[in-house]
Amino acid sequence: MTQPKVARIEKILYATDLSETAAHAYAYAVSLAHMYGASISILHVLSEFSGEEFVVNMINVDTWNDIKARHYAEARTNLIGKKRDNIAIREVLEAFSDQAQAQPQAGTDDHKNVSDNVLIKKGTPAEVIVETAQKLNCDLIVMGTHGQGAITDMLIGSTAKRVVGKSPIPVLVIRLP
């Protein structure tokens, strides 16, 4: 009988949408990083809406452009305030990482900084997450899921579900308790 393979986890990609669920998932990423001596790369994807053709067929282009402008302005205000080039998002993610890592981990006195880098990219979240994990040679992707329900998943899909379907590496999906 052959010996089972032991999982080697050296690099973890933690994908976040800055939600409460994602914050909950980060605790798992940090715990695994401490357990395996792995590093974490934090990724936030600024989503680009892919159903634009469908929407433009339903409403006129000017109305759609107004909606997009309001959405981006609101998102900018909520996420990054008045700052440019995603500096505030990066600062928030780094502060979040530092704060989470400052909390003692069960069974360890080691509080080393396990975050390698903070990445902010634009694109379709599932695709960017999988591509980034491959480029960084990650061994595991950790992310949260909202669990919004079957109807929402059917209409807009689940990023976590898409990542699991596309990823050649294991994906740990965490849901709020």
Whether 22 is in a domain gets the answer yes
10 Å CB burial of residue 47 (0-12, 13-18, 19+) is middle
Which residue, chain included where needed, has tokens 């994807």?
A: 45
Q: What is the mean pLDDT of each run of 10 residues along the chain (177 residues)?
A: 82 89 88 92 78 60 71 56 53 64 50 67 91 97 77 62 94 89
The model's pTM: 0.68
**Domain presence at residue 126:** yes
Residue 95 resides in a domain: yes
pLDDT given at position 93: 67
Tell me, yes or no, whether 57 lies in a domain: no
* Strand, coil or helix: 40: strand
What is the amino acid identity at position 99?
Q
Burial class, 172, CB count within 10 angstroms (exposed 0-12 / middle 13-18 / buried 19+): middle
Residue 116 inside a domain? The answer is yes
Query: In the prediction, which pLDDT does 32 show?
Result: 93
What separation, in Å, do the N-terminal and C-terminal C-alpha atoms of the chain show? 39
CATH at residue 95: 3.40.50.620
pLDDT for 15 equals 93
**Is the residue at 165 inside a domain?**
yes
Instruction: Show the tokens assigned to 80.
Output: 């990054």
The boundaries of the domain holding residue 158 are 11-47+86-175
pLDDT tens by residue, 130-166: 999 999 999 999 999 876 555 555 544 588 889 999 9
Q: What local confidence, expressed as pLDDT, does residue 75 receive?
A: 56
In a domain, 162, yes or no: yes
Q: How far is CA 18 from its chain centroid?
A: 8
Model pLDDT, residue 79: 47
The pLDDT, as a whole number, for residue 58 is 64
Count up the domains in the chain and report the number. Answer: 1
Between CA 109 and CA 112 the distance in angstroms is 9
Residue 74 counted as domain residue:
no
